[in-house]
Amino acid sequence: MSASTDPSSSHEDRYIARLIIVDDEVAQMQALCDTLRDNGYLVTGFANPLPALKTLETTRFDLLLTDLAMPGIDGITLLRTALDIDPDMVGIIMTGEGTVSSAVDAMKVGALDYILKPFKLSAVLPVLSRALSVQQLRRRNVELEHRLVARAAELELVNKGLESFSYSISHDLRAPLRAVTGFTEILSRKYAQALPEEGRRLLGNVIDGAQKMDQLIEALLDFSRLTLAPLQKQTVSITAVVQDLVGEQRALSPDRKVDIQIGPLPDCVGDPVLLRQVFANLISNAFKFTQQTEHAVIEVGSQIQEEHCVYHVRDNGAGFDMRHANRLFEAFQRLHGEDEFKGTGIGLSIVSRIVKRHGGRVWANAAVGEGATFFLTIGEAGGA
């Protein structure tokens, strides 16, 4: 039988939660329904589990409060069946002191808590409040999971769009650019002598411009590839990476005398390909901006600050004005003229993006004519 099936609609818009109570002791069930209704709950009560299950199929409840020992269908079976109908609902078992161990068994199949009979309102209300708080937390977690799934799908679409954009840059833009470069080089090679000096100068400008455009396209592709590729994390020996990169730079400029100082460089956890690109850009910049320095010194080292390993690459080269440091890590921003130092202005933006993807940060300190120091942290250090 049902003790209460439809509380007055005047309370529908301000109840705390919708409860369904199942207890074969009719008087006790009715008293509990009345008490909880007086405390702001919307309550439906049943003395028989079967009509309660029928109601659960058509009506949504926040919480099921069921007696453990009942004839026919016991509380554990009722709870299991009810949760199959509505997994979002939370369940609480009512039991006497002699069957507490059975109530614990009920919690193993889905009950969130239990209440001892005879009831005390001061004990019942906190249990209901905790159960509903857990339910709200579960709902928020589910909502967050759905948002994360939707966000992941959006990011996948964005990445596919960027891949398509990169393909377009690589093929659609480079094809006509190669034609321009090829024809101008043929023109220069075969007919340069027939052109006046001004014509040869202009033709050289066309060739230089095409080559710079090709370098910018390559830089864009690098930026897209290196900052969007999935991270493949593992322990990385920064010492080995730096030593290898310094060797490459020396091979590119065998006649230069550069004092290289490599200090302790703890291992870290990250993508080895991307982290190599970070140090490659910083070290190549240090070599480039010390080209006009008589006694060039480049130092790569680290220190521990607030339990974080801070790596640094320091040089005594051209430096830059710190008033413009906010532009330093933006794509295609250059703090030196093309006539001073060649480059695309993309390298430091790649460094910044990769470091951020690893949960770290990068910053710099410099002065004009006194060199520059670049600092960076990586999310996980020490091979953890």
Give helix 238-252 / helix 272-288 axis angle, nearest 10°.
40
Closest C-alpha among 94, 96, 78, 97 to residue 86? 78
Question: What is the chain's pLDDT, residue by residue, as a tens digit (384 residues)?
Answer: 444 444 444 445 578 899 999 999 898 899 899 999 999 999 999 999 999 999 999 999 999 999 888 888 888 889 889 999 998 899 988 887 656 666 677 677 778 887 888 778 888 899 898 989 988 888 888 888 888 888 888 877 776 766 666 666 666 667 777 888 888 888 888 887 888 888 888 888 888 788 777 777 776 776 666 666 778 899 999 999 999 999 998 888 888 888 999 999 999 999 998 899 899 989 998 988 888 888 999 999 999 888 789 999 999 988 887 876 777 777 555 554 455 545 556 788 888 889 998 999 999 898 888 889 999 999 754 433
Residues 220-250 as b or e (16 or more Cβ within 10 Å = b): bebbbebbeeeeebeebebbebbeebbeebe
Using alpha carbons only, how large is the chain's radius of gyration in Å? 36
pLDDT at 102: 67
Sheet holding 18-22, edge to edge: 2-4, 42-46, 18-22, 63-67, 90-95, 111-116
d(CA 88, CA 17): 13
- Contact (Cβ atoms closer than 8 angstroms) between residue 68 and residue 103: yes
Q: Where are the beta strands (DSSP E) in the chain?
A: 2-4, 18-22, 42-46, 63-67, 90-95, 111-116, 234-236, 258-262, 268-270, 296-305, 308-315, 362-367, 371-377, 380-381
Structure tokens at 14: 């301000």
pTM of the model: 0.51
d(CA 217, CA 179): 15
pLDDT at 154: 80
DSSP per-residue string spanning 275-304? HHHHHHHHHHHHHHTTTT-SSEEEEEEEEE
d(CA 236, CA 173): 37
Site of tokens 């939370």: 90
Which residues have C-beta within 8 Å of that of residue 26, sequence separation ≥ 6? 1, 3, 47
pLDDT at 168: 66
pLDDT at 51: 93
d(CA 372, CA 335): 12
d(CA 163, CA 380): 29
d(CA 37, CA 291): 83
User: What is the residue type of 329?
Assistant: F
How, if at all, do strands 258-262 and 111-116 pair? unpaired
Is 189 in a helix, a strand, or coil? helix
